[in-house]
Amino acid sequence: MNDSIRLPEGFRFAGMNCGIKPAKSDLAMIVVDKAANGFGVYTQNLVRAACIDWNRSLTPLNGVRGIVVNSGNANACTGAEGIANNKQMAQIAADSLAGIGLPTKAKQMFVLSTGVIGRQLPMSSLEQGIPKVVSHLQNDAGAFDSAANAILTTDKNRKIASRSWQVGNQSFTIAAMAKGAGMIGPNMATMLGVLVTDFPVASEQGQSMLQRVVDRSFNRISVEGHTSTNDAVILLAADSAPGIQSVVAHDEFECYLLELSIELAKKIPTDGEGADHLIEIRVLGTQSDVEAERIARTIALSNLVKTAVAGADPNWGRIVSAAGYSGVSFDVEQTSLTLNGTKVFERGSPVAFDNKAVSKSIKNAVLTQIDLIVGGGRGSATHWTSDLTVDYVKLNAEYTT
């Protein structure tokens, strides 16, 4: 049990096994006692799971009741049957919640699925499992952990975080869970993320706020660059709270939301399939943040860079050359590169450095830091990715067999 997680008022959680997976938890519920506002950012893949189209049709959603999540089956590329099954999941959840005194319609429920593509959902398991998971809903750390565990697939570790703060004499909390270890590529890049808060977020501002946060967190991570069919980040927020109207309070909330989202986002490539290292790539000096992000992303998606880090090889030429084919114009003579705090390339020329010491700094730490300056512009961006190991190849070569 995780005793340190802080939970917002008015939310309940549960997770359990319903038979989609042989033994591990595979069904989760996140429910709000008083209908709230719901916002979502979803995959940009044209091949989408049924749940993505369902959620998009609802977002932003006033009067949301909650989210039902299954793992082990993506319900993607499953045709009309998959669409009907997704709708049925929402209806079963709504009926089950009504049975415990929370009147709910199917269109008040978001649905999330994750797992293997191209297989129909085992509806008999869900028809029995959803009412059962609803009966286990609680507002405590153990229930939150159970839900966070139930959304995982190939993850080694659950990914959770929370923040609490004061506005005047009122206390507010954000709690969040995520999953993702493979098929992680930007736009979206989280696989699944759920954020819940008792801070009031109005429907007219929440969607744009969440998009800004996602663009600077979950859309800045990758493992192998494969954008999933099921990626989604959903925010459930209270509809109102007395006295919380100021722009300053909402700006502060967005800062906490971004901080929390970056913390969660970084946990995904850290837990990347077969990964030994988290790689943080910071690019400075471009003419715009967009240009910096494009360079950082290109470096992050280079298999040569990723394998160099896996082997603790400070082969910095791979990094500079990746920046060079990013499509962003910059002056090589104004370009400098630092690896784990050691300058290896400065203003277009190599710098003598202790190769063994830098190699050791990569090998002996989880985090590898790449800092690239490409000029004097004000643009900047950070991207997080994982290294590429033999274990990644083995795991994905045998994923469904």
Beta bridge partners of 70: 27, 113
Query: How far apart (Å, rounded) are the C-alpha atoms in residues 144 and 12?
Result: 8
- Given strand 336-339, what is the order of strands in its sheet? 221-222, 379-386, 278-286, 367-373, 336-339, 342-346, 349-350
- Residue-by-residue DSSP string for 208-267: HHHHHHHHTTGGGEESS----SS-EEEEEEES--TT---HHHHHHHHHHHHHHHHHHHHH
Distance between CA 190 and CA 192 in Å, rounded?
Answer: 5
Distance CA 315, CA 155 (A): 29
Q: How many residues does the chain have?
A: 401
Instruction: Extract the tokens encoding 107.
Output: 């269109």
- Alpha carbons 122 and 67: distance in angstroms, whole number: 19
Which of 81, 87, 95, 67 shows the shortest CA–CA distance to 11? 67
Residue/partner pairs of 287-292 with CB below 8 Å, 24 or more apart:
287/375, 287/377, 287/378, 287/379, 288/377, 288/379, 289/379, 289/380, 289/381, 290/379, 291/328, 291/377, 291/379, 292/379, 292/380, 292/381
Is 190 labeled as catalytic in the residue annotation? yes
Catalytically annotated residue among 59, 190, 227, 229 = 190
Q: Where are the alpha helices (DSSP H) in 99-243?
A: 123-134, 141-150, 203-215
> Which residues on adjacent β-strands are paired with residue 173?
164
Residues assigned a catalytic role: 190
